[in-house]
Amino acid sequence: MEVYEKVPKGFQFYGTHVGIKKKRKDFGLIVADKVCHAAAVFTKNTFCGECIPIGKDHVKNTELQAVVVTSGIANVATGKIGRENEYKILEKLANKLTIEKENILPSSTGVIGPQLPIERIENFLDAEPIVLKENYEDFAQAILTTDNRIKVRSLKVGEATILGIVKGSGMIEPNMATMLSYILTDAKVEKQEIYPMLKIAVDQSFNTISIDTDTSTSDTVAFLASGHHEVKKTELQEALNQICKGLALDVVKDAEGATKTMFVTVKNAESKEQAKNAGKSIINSPLVKTALFGHDPNWGRIAMALGKTEGLIFDQNKVEIYYGQYPIFSTNNEEKQNINKIAEYIEQNEDIYLTVDLHQGTESFEVIGCDLSYEYVKINSDYST
């Protein structure tokens, strides 16, 4: 596999301003030249956006041909009118692009509560031509809200290409975070294989990151395969995993107000789930996050976060905690001599590696988080309404 700039065969893009945001692009399209095998995973938040149930319905048969994204308004908590507006957009698009409405996956991201300016969107679609491009740049721009940059990754797998695009930075608009990711490939993927493949990749990437514990109402990751090239399934899975991991890291790196990225590995737990829960408890602790922001090797907070993890089985006497290569706690004792080295390590690195070895079982898991800064409070406390 190598990094590959070209887009997969059979996909085109579009991104423009239709008038949801004031000036910036707010309407994006991905269109395939024929129906693709497809899978998607969605937010588990039950107070979810109007796009989510429609998306679930449309991807049920493992087929999609297009993705439409509106940004600036999330179309969440908008009731019957919100749902109808979404269908109006899908119908206009289906007619205009001559594809089945049921093969379009809709997404929306932005402020919760307001209705989409549906007349403006319909008038735009009636009046303006849609000129699709091979270049994904306009689309990647059109799905952003408070993101600082577009986030795109691609890889080559045999003759095929796999391309991933993601948006998300923890909080988007000062109202609601949403992570949207679209992964496209011209490889051939069987219908019954596409969802399990995506699930494997998502579980070890997007589902291992946390910026602020708050699950958005609109999160969506979709995977479309246009089927032009036969490739080895294991190689494609590996590339998909790598793309998803890369995109997930891009999201944490663009996290609101963050100055550090924290990679936490919990080793030798009784189960993968326990290792993951312990890691999440650490990266989600406000006390761990503020200590990281303050460059403070405050390992007591790591111990606290470990101890409050529900269902985690461990023996305090066997636990070892490392910052980078430096042990700070072992045999129920503080390794005082390393405090200054660790303070320096935190000071001088943007990526901080923390390892907790439970010496309890054989399962390990890595999660990725970030610090909690003044800037996070600023971004999210600014008056928005």
Is residue 275 a contact residue for a second copy (CB under 8 A)? Answer: no
Q: How many CA atoms lie within 13 A of 361 on its CB side?
A: 14
Q: Which two tokens mark 352?
A: 């901080």
Distances (CA, A) of 233 to 91, 104, 238: 35, 26, 9
Is residue 265 a contact residue for a second copy (CB under 8 A)? Answer: no
Is residue 118 a contact residue for a second copy (CB under 8 A)? Answer: no
Q: What one-character DSSP code corresponds to residue 22?
A: S
Q: Is the dihedral of CA 359, 210, 83, 113 positive or negative?
A: positive
Picking from 52, 85, 59, the residue whose alpha carbon sits closest to that of residue 198 is: 59
Looking at beta carbons only, is 155 or 176 nearer to a second copy?
176
Any known ligand binding at 232? no
Picking from 183, 156, 247, the residue whose alpha carbon sits closest to that of residue 30 is: 183
- Return the range that interacts with a second copy (CB under 8 A); candidates 6-14, 43-51, 349-357, 358-366: 43-51
Is residue 374 a contact residue for a second copy (CB under 8 A)? Answer: yes
Which stretches of 254-318 are DSSP H helices? Answer: 272-284, 286-293, 299-307
Any known ligand binding at 318? no
Looking at beta carbons only, is 192 or 381 nearer to a second copy?
381
Rounded to the nearest whole angstrom, what is the least distance from the CB of residue 311 to a second copy in the complex? 10
Q: What are the DSSP E strand ranges found in 74-133?
A: 104-111
Q: Which two tokens mark 211?
A: 């910026």
Looking at beta carbons only, is 235 or 334 nearer to a second copy?
334
Looking at beta carbons only, is 31 or 312 nearer to a second copy?
312
Active-site residue, selected from the candidate residues 43, 178, 220, 309: 178
Any known ligand binding at 178? yes
Rounded to the nearest whole angstrom, what is the least distance from the CB of residue 291 to a second copy in the complex? 7
Rounded to the nearest whole angstrom, what is the least distance from the CB of residue 161 to a second copy in the complex? 35
Rounded to the nearest whole angstrom, what is the least distance from the CB of residue 5 to a second copy in the complex? 37
Is residue 114 a contact residue for a second copy (CB under 8 A)? Answer: yes
Determine which residue in the list 107, 141, 154, 373 makes contact with a second copy, applying CB under 8 A: 373
Is residue 171 a contact residue for a second copy (CB under 8 A)? Answer: yes
Is residue 361 a contact residue for a second copy (CB under 8 A)? Answer: no
Determine which residue in the list 177, 183, 189, 354 makes contact with a second copy, applying CB under 8 A: 177
Determine which residue in the list 63, 100, 334, 363 makes contact with a second copy, applying CB under 8 A: 334
Is residue 308 a contact residue for a second copy (CB under 8 A)? Answer: yes
Q: What are the DSSP E strand ranges found in the chain?
A: 11-16, 27-42, 63-73, 104-111, 151-157, 160-167, 180-187, 220-229, 261-269, 320-323, 326-330, 333-334, 351-357, 363-370
Looking at beta carbons only, is 332 or 349 nearer to a second copy?
332
Is residue 78 a contact residue for a second copy (CB under 8 A)? Answer: yes
Give me the amino acid identity at 49.
G
Active-site annotation holds for 178? yes
Q: For residue 106, give the 3-state DSSP assignment.
A: strand
Q: Are 93 and 121 in contact (CB under 8 A)?
A: no
Any known ligand binding at 268? no
Tracing tokens 């003759």 back to the chain, one arrives at 159
Give me the amino acid identity at 133.
K
Contacts for 305 with CB less than 8 Å, ≥ 6 apart: 278, 281, 282, 284, 285, 287, 288
Looking at beta carbons only, is 16 or 284 nearer to a second copy?
284
* Count of Cβ atoms closer than 10 Å to residue 325 Cβ: 11
Is residue 378 a contact residue for a second copy (CB under 8 A)? Answer: yes
Site residues (CB under 8 A) for a second copy? 44-48, 74, 76-80, 111-114, 171, 174-177, 212-217, 284-287, 290-291, 293-301, 303-308, 312, 314, 316-317, 329, 331-334, 339, 343, 372-374, 376-378, 380-385
Q: Could you list the active site residues?
A: 178
